[in-house]
Structure 1
Amino acid sequence: MEKVRIGIIGIGGMGTGHANNIIAGKVPHAELTAVYDISTERLEWVRQNFGGNVKRFDNVDAFFHSKAFDAVLIATRHYDHPGLAIQSLRSGYHTLIEKPAGVYTKAVREMNEVALQSDKVFAIMYNQRTNPVYRKLKDLIDSGELGELKRSIWIITNWYRPQSYYDAAGWRATWSGEGGGVLLNQDPHQLDLWQWTCGMPKRVRAFMSFGKYHDIEVEDDVTGYVEYENGATGLFVTSTGEAPGTNRFEIAGDRGKIVVEDDKLTFWRLRESERDFNRDFKGGFGSPECWKCEIPTPGENTQHTGILKDWVGAIIHGTKLIAPGIEGIKGLTLSNAMHLSAWTDSWVDLPLDEDLYYEKLKERIDK
């Protein structure tokens, strides 16, 4: 295969951006050949801007039956991602979904089972995994440079949104339309990067406010606390109601501390393990020798086009994906667990009780 023909489901904000990137030739070996959308206005926009070479569909079954493409990019509302991905994979198409993987893990797990049984390339648009800063952070942790993890703290409150943002669309910030608030809309990338670098915890305790700063149903202020198997702890603080906000990710380990802030990676590196120093030092007050290192993070942050290129490359050459679609369940598990903890006012152990979560979500949708 020299070219991958791509069909896009959903020509809203994200879908339009992906379509423009493909049409502009920013994704080598990719060709946009079809789109599906329920909006006649958006389909007319496609006709006016892309001409007759891009087929337009207003019926999803006709879209999948057309065989007008080799791969499908899904850029719809959160709830639709798993069902459309399942239909795409079962129809024999390589598939890429926008984040998040879905709203509740029960549906995403079914999607993953279909993906694992398929021979098609399944990816998710976790474009922050292309950021050289986070790639270097993962490398430092995975290589053991930071030592055994002790604590992680991510304050990500620079998501400020005014009320007019929520009023612009009726489905936004509702349990039935979006399935959540800041955790489902703004934070999927950070939750993915958190587990990508630090791993999954064993249990979660969260506190959140629903409509604290806005006239909305869902959460706009969250503090989540997690514990890991090795005894390490983590804290995730996020909000859409603070201005100015903060984006600071700090990870402490046996060999020092790393801080990611302002697109920079700073490593306070210990010359010896803190645990070894603690055991051997006999001088009363003292601490290990520490060097402050500004870590270079060369490379381009290719973002959305980077994930598209990676997906197309995996289809053509069989290369390993940066963001496999089946990994989307991990970050979603964290947000589901935080919601469930806040709803039940209790600890939530992982693996998550997916049936209980879905039951509690349906209660909020019904109300």
Structure 2
Amino acid sequence: MEFVRIGIIGLGNMGSSHCIQIHIEHKVPGLKLAAVCDISEERREWAGREFPGVPVFEHATDMYQSGLIDAVLVAVPHYDHPSLSIEAFSHGLHVLVEKPAGVYTKQVLMMNAAAAKSDKVFCIMYNQRTNPVYQKLRELVQDGELGELKRVVWIVTDWYRPQAYHDSGSWRSTWKGEGGGTLINQNPHNLDLLQWILGMPKRLRSFVSFGKYYNIEVEDDVTAYLEYANGASGVYITSTGESPGTNRLELSGDRGKIVVENNKITFHRNRIPEREHNRSNTEPFKRPEAWVCDIPVVGTNEDHVGIMKSFTQAILKGTPLLSPGEEGIHGLTISNAIHYSTWTNDWVDLEQFNHDHFHELLLERIQHSKVEKKLSQKVVDVTGTY
């Protein structure tokens, strides 16, 4: 195979952007836009004008069965990510799915099982993994530069979205249309990075507000307390209702403290580990000697293009994926657990997460969702059609 023929399902903001990057800008060597698909006649007509010669389909199954593609990029509303991916695997296609992997873990576990059975390349669009800042941070942690983790604090409140954003699409900010608020829409990348860098928390307790700042039914303010197997603790704070906001990640360990802010890494490095200092020191107020180090970061953030390159090379050459699709379950488990903890007013064990009960509670909220009222407003939605 000299190149990969890809079909894109969903010509909203992200799907359209991917089409342009592949077909017009030629940013992904070895990847060819071979077909597109959308249930919207308007978007299909747009694709016909913008990409003459590229076949346009209304239904995903027809594109899957066409023989025109080797792989598919799924860029549709969240609930449909797993079902369309599972169907693609059944037709022998490689799959690149947009984030999040799905809305609830039960459906994503089924998608992962289908991927394993298919033996096809499965990738997820966690494009923040291409950021050299987070790659370097992960390297520092995994190489032991920070030592034993003590605490993580991530404040992510720069996801500001006004009411006009929530009203811009019929599916937005509803349980039935989107499956959640800031956790399922803005934060999947952050939650993925959290587990990619540090591993999964063991349990958590959350305090989530729904419609605190806006006329919406889903969450717009979140505080979660995390505990890790080694005894380390963490706090994750996010909101769409603060401006100006903050994006500050702080990791504390035996060998010092690492702060990531404004796309820069600062390492407050202890000359000797704190625990070693504690054992040997005899002076009541003496701290370990610490050096403030600006960590050099080399490389370019290729964003979505970087993930598509990784996906293409994995198919053509068998190179390891930067963002394996099966790993989408991890960040989603944290997201679901944060909802679940508040809904049940209790701690949640992530290693024994109750996938079925979470799904039941989500279905109750879907049944009472206000998406029908939003649909009656006849707002324009070009972000999630397929």
> Partners in 2 of 1:59 and 1:219 — Cα distance?
33
Where does 1:1-367 land on structure 2 (aligned, <5 Å)?
A: 1-23=1-23, 24-52=25-53, 54-351=54-351, 352-367=353-368
Offset from partner CA, 1:296-335 (integer Å, 9 cap, x none):
0110000000000010011000000000000000000001
> Partners in 2 of 1:99 and 1:7 — Cα distance?
17
Higher relative contact order (CA 8 A, sep 6+): 2
> Partners in 1 of 2:64 and 2:31 — Cα distance?
18
**Aligned amino acid, residue 45 of structure 2:** E
Q: TM-score scaled by structure 2?
A: 0.94
**Aligned amino acid, residue 332 of structure 1:** L
Matched residue count: 366
Q: Considering only aligned residues, what root-mean-square deviation do their CA atoms show, in Å?
A: 0.6
SS at match of 1:185: coil
> Partners in 1 of 2:244 and 2:275 — Cα distance?
38
- Structure 1 residue 119 displacement after superposition: 1.7
**Aligned amino acid, residue 215 of structure 1:** N
Q: TM-score scaled by structure 1?
A: 0.99
> Partners in 2 of 1:74 and 1:59 — Cα distance?
13
> Partners in 2 of 1:263 and 1:350 — Cα distance?
30
> Partners in 2 of 1:14 and 1:148 — Cα distance?
39
**Aligned amino acid, residue 310 of structure 1:** S
> Partners in 2 of 1:67 and 1:293 — Cα distance?
55
**Aligned amino acid, residue 122 of structure 1:** F
- Structure 1 residue 91 displacement after superposition: 0.7
- Structure 1 residue 255 displacement after superposition: 0.5
Offset from partner CA, 1:228-263 (integer Å, 9 cap, x none):
110001111000000000000000011010000000
**Aligned amino acid, residue 341 of structure 1:** S
> Partners in 2 of 1:97 and 1:328 — Cα distance?
10
> Partners in 2 of 1:2 and 1:62 — Cα distance?
25
> Partners in 1 of 2:173 and 2:67 — Cα distance?
36
- Structure 1 residue 90 displacement after superposition: 1.4
Offset from partner CA, 1:331-356 (integer Å, 9 cap, x none):
00001000000111111111210011
Matching residue of 2:371: none
SS at match of 1:32: strand
Offset from partner CA, 1:257-313 (integer Å, 9 cap, x none):
000000000000111111111111112211111000000011000000000001001
- Structure 1 residue 80 displacement after superposition: 0.3
SS at match of 2:215: coil
Offset from partner CA, 1:111-131 (integer Å, 9 cap, x none):
101111222110000000000
SS at match of 1:269: strand
SS at match of 2:278: helix
Which 10-residue stretch deviates more, 124-133 or 277-286? 277-286
- Structure 1 residue 166 displacement after superposition: 0.7
> Partners in 2 of 1:168 and 1:273 — Cα distance?
51
- Structure 1 residue 67 displacement after superposition: 1.3
- Structure 1 residue 63 displacement after superposition: 1.2
Answer yes or no: is the 8 Å Cα contact 2:334–2:350 preserved in 1. no
- Structure 1 residue 139 displacement after superposition: 0.1
SS at match of 1:51: coil
> Partners in 2 of 1:115 and 1:270 — Cα distance?
44
SS at match of 1:314: helix
**Aligned amino acid, residue 50 of structure 2:** N
